[in-house]
Amino acid sequence: MPLPVRMLNEFTYCPRLFYLEFVDGLFRESADTLEGSAEHQAQDRPIRRREAPDDRPPPRTVAVSLADPGTGITGRLDVLEHADGVWYPVEFKHGSPPPPGYPRTDRLGPSGTWMTDEVQVCAQGLLLEASGMASPRGALWYRGTREQIVVDFTVGLRARTLEVVAAARALTRPGSTIPPPLEDDARCVRCSLAPICLPEETAALAAGHPPNTPLRRLVPADDRLGVLYVQTQGATVGKSGDVLTVRNRDERLGEMPMGQLRQVCLFGSVQVTTQAMHALLREDIPVVYFSGGGYFYGIAHGLPSKNIEWRRQQFLRFQNPETVLDLARSIMVGKIRNQRTLLRRNHRNLPDEVADRLTELGDAAGRANALQEMLGIEGAAARLYYEHFSGMLKGDITITDFQHRNRRPPRDPVNALLSLAYAVLAKDLTVAIYATGLDPMFGFYHQPRHGKPALALDLMEEFRPLIADSVVLSLINNRSVGPSDFISAGSIGACNLSPSGRATFFEAYERRKHQEVTHPLFGYRLSYGRMLELQARLMARYLTGEIPRYHPVVTR
């Protein structure tokens, strides 16, 4: 596999960043990357040099692509300039060189600037030499200070560059593992992949115990991106420029800029044009399909993570009964404790023995010795929870006449709301798991079965009370929905939401996802939607062996 020279810069900066970008194929834009891209588009303009032999700019060639079969590196050189009878590469950098007296000399190269940049431009010199051109030196142009620094390709720098090439290539081989994160390092603060890398969280949990003090929050509290729900039967989702449009025949129902989208959710007979689908796949925006009644069918998305090692580790861990049982314990303890908390917060008069019994069941789940035993504990907790669920309902008696949980189809308004909430939550966790590079269909507590996103259902357990059940309680108790928002049909008395009721639900659900709370383990605030992604990535860290156990989100 060709190794781009720019990836050598990333490896020297942080091997874990290189692994995530090159091996996993993950990338996220930041203000720095966007500015850098814009600046590279203008790099054919004359360079302002500190020193020049005369007023004429040196001969130059822009955007040269080269490859070296010997070392396996390849790259696009920003600029080649000619001076003193040789061509030398000039690499444009968005930032600034080290300040005078910079204390971390281990991060500096022999020319006194950043080692990451010196390795990158030296690799460009090696590409030139492989093409038959002498290249004794190069230059780095820093836009932050508008200065150019000459880099001599010394024997030591060349040796260091070849060492980086060999070490980086070793990480691309099958069976390689992701390098550990940097610890308490300032470089993580501006890294665009910090929300994926999770350096603080991974290091803390890898120690084998939760952190005792709040961590630096490198994960954005919320992305503020929206979800487009389309449920008008016969509607078509199309594209006009960078805007997604929704039409029903000649009527324009709405539109949303693609830059503000996280997902597109389609219910029933809704079409998507080929042009819109291509754009959504290109921008890595998943398209989620539901039945007209809200059953979660599946997702259309771009290619999964190119690193098969993550999924291989997932499948291997499934073969280990201890791993399966350990993960099932964590999942079920989180679910039962959150059910208990929701009842205690919202029930009008919860008997003490109910709370005590849920505590006992949660403790029993943490000690279970087999999945069958766990299923019995989950069933006992669910029966107790739903027996007292109606005690949390304070709305219209015509829709709060809830006796027990039923589904496929739901037969009363509360169950209709719960079923839709669980379906949409399963969808969000399926999307989050795809983003980690794992397979959402291959679970542990929920065993793999045709058509079931088992791993998403595993992760969903702890969030059922926190997100889905809380949304249902909010809609009913605030009287946001009423009898007119539900439709009963069929000989078995199936109940479903009307289009207006479903629209009200989506609004409440997205509002809940954007609500910021304090993470009980890490001590910083972030939205529930961001927490879903965080937990999916922690699940991946557990399955790939980076952290010793999975910690569910448990509220107090």
Alpha carbons 421 and 415: distance in angstroms, whole number: 10
pLDDT in the model for residue 448: 74
Residue 396 has a pLDDT of 67
In whole angstroms, give the CA distance from residue 340 to residue 126: 64
Q: What is the pLDDT of residue 426?
A: 92
**Would you say 122 and 161 are in contact if contact means Cβ atoms under 8 Å apart?**
yes
Total count of domains within the chain: 2
**Any domain includes 262:** yes
Pairing of strands 494-497, 486-489: antiparallel
Q: What is the pLDDT of residue 38?
A: 45
In a domain, 41, yes or no: yes
Torsion of the alpha carbons at 53, 115, 11 and 549, rounded to the nearest 10: -150
For residue 456, the surrounding DSSP H or E stretch is helix 454-463
CA distances from 255 to 114, 246, 249, 274, 286 (A): 46, 6, 15, 17, 17
Whether the predicted pLDDT of 292 surpasses 70:
yes
Are residues 8 and 155 both part of a single domain? Answer: yes
pLDDT of the residue at 400: 67
Q: Tell me, what's the pLDDT at 183?
A: 85
* Beta strand spans in 40-104 (E): 60-68, 73-83, 86-93
Asked if residue 219 belongs to a domain, the reply is: no
Q: What is the pLDDT of residue 306?
A: 66
Which pLDDT score, from 0 to 100, does residue 124 have?
Answer: 93
Residues 181-191: what's their mean pLDDT? 87
3-state percent breakdown (helix, strand, coil) of the chain, nearest 5: 45, 20, 40
Q: Greater confidence, 256 or 466?
A: 466
Q: Are residues 101 and 11 in the same domain?
A: yes
- pLDDT value at residue 49: 46
Per-residue model confidence as pLDDT tens digits over 353-384: 999 999 999 999 999 999 889 899 999 999 99
> Could you tell me the pLDDT band of residue 267, with boundaries at 50, 70 and 90?
confident
Which region, left, alpha or beta, applies to residue 293 given φ > 0 means left and ψ of -120 to 50 means alpha?
alpha
157 and 80 in one domain? yes
Question: Looking at residue 398, what is its pLDDT?
Answer: 66
**Among candidate residues 183, 205, 234, the one where a domain is terminated:** 183
Q: Are residues 171 and 236 in the same domain?
A: no
What residues pair up with 495 in beta bridges, in sequence order?
A: 488
Q: Which amino acid is at 426?
A: A
Q: Where a domain ends, among 300, 329, 362?
A: 300
Residues forming a β-bridge with 3: 73
Residue 74: what pLDDT? 92
Question: Is the pLDDT assigned to residue 36 strictly greater than 60?
Answer: no
Please tell me whether residues 8 and 69 are part of one structural domain.
yes
The whole-number average pLDDT for the span 409-417 is 87
pLDDT at residue 530 in the model: 92
| 503 part of a folded domain | no
Mean pLDDT of 103-115: 89
Q: Does the pLDDT value for residue 317 go beyond 90? A: no
Indicate whether 255 belongs to any domain: yes
Alpha carbons 532 and 440: distance in angstroms, whole number: 14
**17 and 105 belong to one structural domain:** yes
In this structure, the answer to whether residues 167 and 245 fall within a common structural domain is no
CATH of the domain at 230: 3.100.10.20
**436 assigned to some structural domain:** no
CATH code of the domain covering residue 35? 3.90.320.10
Q: Which tens digit of pLDDT belongs to each residue from 51-99? A: 444 555 556 677 778 898 888 999 888 888 888 778 889 999 888 999 8
pLDDT at 51: 47
Taking 70 as the threshold, does the pLDDT of residue 175 lie above it?
Answer: yes
Question: What's the token pair of residue 459?
Answer: 């992760």
Average pLDDT, whole number, for the chain?
86
Q: What is the dihedral of CA 189, 190, 195, 199, to 10 degrees?
A: -40
Determine which helix (DSSP H) or strand (DSSP E) holds 317, and give its type and residue range: helix 308-318
Percent of the chain with pLDDT over 70: 91
**Residue 78: inside a domain:** yes
Domain hosting residue 255, numbered range: 226-300
Q: Is residue 198 part of a domain?
A: no
177 plus 278 within the same structural domain: no
48 and 174 inside one domain: yes
User: Would you say residue 32 has pLDDT above 70?
Assistant: no
Reported as a pLDDT band with limits 50, 70 and 90, residue 50 is: very low
pLDDT, position 492? 67
Whether residue 238 is found in the same domain as residue 177: no
User: Is 278 found in the same domain as 138?
Assistant: no
Rounded to whole angstroms, the Cα distance separating 256 from 258 reads 6
Which of residues 183, 207, 238 is at a domain's end? 183
166 and 244 housed in the same domain = no
Radius of gyration of the chain (CA): 28
- Amino acid identity of residue 466, one-letter, is L
